[in-house]
Amino acid sequence: DTAPFGGRSFLAVAQQTPEAKIRDLERGLDLDPGSRLFVSLAEEYRKLGRMRDALGALQKGLLAHPGYVAAQEAPGRVYIQADQATDAVATFTKVLVADPGNLVAAKSLADIHLGRGDKLEAVKKYKLYRALSGDRKVDPIIADLETQVTPKPVTPPRIQPKVEPPPPPPPKFQETDKS
């Protein structure tokens, strides 16, 4: 059978073991190299910890589908799982530049920055995510971060002006008798 998944439904494939899913997805890509199955294949590789295979599938698929946003986000998830935060930040930042309303990129960047201890960038990205999604569940995180990144007003110490004693009175003019 030349249909992807050997003529079986996607649901039937979804209930398979990860290895069987990978075989079917690879077969489907062999039969239709221009399909978007590469994202699902990469996700299955990622789930099994096969990061190099996941990135390879995504890079190859993105050559055929450079505007496919879900595929552009997927390497970021692989990098996160591989503890490559710098590459994940670069990936999600690129996605956010190309698609400023991308919720996955905004939230992922916020989470990464928070995990790295970059609280200022984290609060910025959480606010962006909240503005884009309307998700108020991040409000406590934002509030907590704001207390940590907002400088407390500094009250200068009160300096008492030095009070000089008044100058001595001028000498009194005394008239002398000139007689």
Q: State the pLDDT confidence band at 155, using cuts at 50, 70 and 90.
A: confident
Confidence check: pLDDT of 12 > 80: no
Tell me how far apart the alpha carbons of residues 104 and 159 are, in angstroms, rounded to a whole number.
52
The pTM (predicted TM-score) of the whole model is 0.72
Q: State the pLDDT confidence band at 137, using cuts at 50, 70 and 90.
A: very high
Q: Given this model, what pLDDT does residue 176 score?
A: 66
Number of H helices, E strands in the chain: 9, 0
Q: What percent of the chain has pLDDT over 70?
A: 88
Tell me how far apart the alpha carbons of residues 151 and 133 are, in angstroms, rounded to a whole number.
28
* pLDDT tens for each residue of 49-76: 999 999 999 999 999 999 898 899 999 9
* pLDDT tens for each residue of 109-131: 999 999 999 999 999 999 999 99
Query: Average pLDDT of 95-102?
Result: 94
Tell me how far apart the alpha carbons of residues 103 and 130 are, in angstroms, rounded to a whole number.
9
Mean residue pLDDT of the chain comes to 89
Q: Which parts of 102-138 fold into alpha helices (H)?
A: 103-116, 119-133
CB contact burial 110-147 (16+ within 10 A = b; e otherwise):
bbbbbeeeebebbbbbbbbbbeeeeeeebeebbeebee
